[in-house]
Amino acid sequence: MSTAHAPLPAAKPSRGARLVLLGLGALLAVLAGFGITKRVHARRELTADTNRNAITTVATITPKASPGDQDLTLPGTVASWQDAQVYARTTGYVAKWYVDIGAKVKKGQRLADLDTPDVDNQLLQGKAQMRTDQANLAFAKVTADRYAKLATQGLVAQQLADQYMAQYRAGTATVQADEANVARLQSLQDFKFIHAPYDGIVTQRNLNIGALVDAGANGGNLFVIADTSKLRVYVDVPETYAASVHTGMPVDVSLNTYGARPITGSVARTADALDPSTRTLRTEVDVDNASQQLLPGVYANVKLNVSTATSHYIVPANVLLFRAEGLRVALVDGQQHVHLQPITLGRDFGNTVEITDGLNDKDRLVLSPSDSLYEKQPVKLVEPNPAQEQRLP
């Protein structure tokens, strides 16, 4: 009879093995916790970096106040001291002309002769009529004196003497009218000789021999005489500087035609009123031209030393924002938020511009602002890059 074997009891792990297992578990738990912590920290850093990168970084600059006294250069137009359009005062045909354009003439010099047959005949008729009326007047005087003497002697009625005296007085008035008419016709005849009104230069000649000339402006001017011994330079000063322009202030006039040599003049007069359409003050500058080297009609640059009571600022041109609502600059406030400030633009110096309204000396302007900037946008400030910043004058 076989004997059955009883199962052997399971072997229990030793104490050392249990310690090893516990150590391995703890190590795995520490490694798992460290990995989770590292991933959480990395995610937080990524979120912070993303948030930081989402804020636009800008460089700012402070505007520089423009000097109170400054040189202002404006375009001007040079005109002659005076010019006259010479018209005919009588109707006739051109018989002769003696001067052409560019000729220098003296006051009273004959410029042209007209043939005036109608006026000549009217003058002859007027003189003949005057002689007839003078003869009648002489006879009326003798008659009036005779009847006045007879009336004092009582030989004729006083009324008859008064009648002849009235005829004499009427004859006197008729002769006076004839004399005035003859003088008028004589003047018209004298006007057939065209003379220069003053010393100057002939700038236009608008007649030819044989041409019919009508009296007055309807006939057109025959000559234009310009006095260029002095020149007038007209310039329109903007409203901002109008108050600083006064009579007698020195002015430098540069003419492109004559190179860079400036001509010294002075403000002779101003309009004392602004043109409502341009908001400018018409100013006249007188320039001596005794040498006759300068010509009227040329373009001039007029430099005036002016001042302004308001604060103007000079800023780089790369701070401007051109928006549909108008010209703007981006300012950064104390909370580092953007404010889009409307401004008024003054003079353009190329790399820099003048701002006449909208800024103060403590504003921080964004250099090269992005078109995507919007009101109240948070930004981060950095020092401006010298290569990017435009150097102010």
Residue 155 DSSP class: S
Distance CA 92, CA 215 (A): 8
3-state secondary structure of 204: strand
- The domain defined by 73-79+228-307 folds into Elongation Factor Tu (Ef-tu); domain 3 (2.40.30)
Kind and range of the H or E element at 124? helix 117-152
Spans of all domains in the chain: 57-67+311-382, 73-79+228-307, 88-114+194-221, 117-191
3-state secondary structure of 197: coil
pLDDT band at 306 (very low <50, low <70, confident <90, very high): confident
Out of 3.40.1000.10, 2.160.10.10, 1.20.1730.10, 2.40.50.100, which CATH number does the structure's domain 88-114+194-221 have? 2.40.50.100
pLDDT exceeds cutoff 60 at 260: no
Instruction: Tell me which residue has tokens 């804020």.
Output: 55
Spatial neighbors of 311 by CB under 8 A, at least 6 apart, are 65, 360, 361
Distance CA 319, CA 353 (A): 10
| CATH match of 57-67+311-382 with 2.40.420.20 | yes
Mean pLDDT of 276-285: 91
pTM across the whole model: 0.58
Spatial neighbors of 284 by CB under 8 A, at least 6 apart, are 232, 233, 234, 267, 268, 269, 270
Rg of the chain over Cα atoms, rounded to whole angstroms, equals 50
Distance CA 271, CA 280 (A): 10
Helix axes 158-190, 117-152, angle to 10 degrees: 160
pLDDT exceeds cutoff 80 at 137: yes
**Torsion region of 272: left, alpha or beta (phi above 0 gives left; psi -120 to 50 gives alpha):** left
Q: How far is CA 127 from the centre of its chain?
A: 58
5-9, 141-145, 250-254, 300-304, range with the lowest pLDDT: 5-9
- The domain defined by 117-191 folds into Helix Hairpins (1.10.287)
| Mean pLDDT estimate for the chain | 84
Q: What is the pLDDT of residues 152-206, one digit of tens each?
A: 888 888 888 889 899 999 999 999 999 999 999 998 889 999 999 999 999 999 9
* Number of CB atoms found within 10 A of residue 137's CB: 21
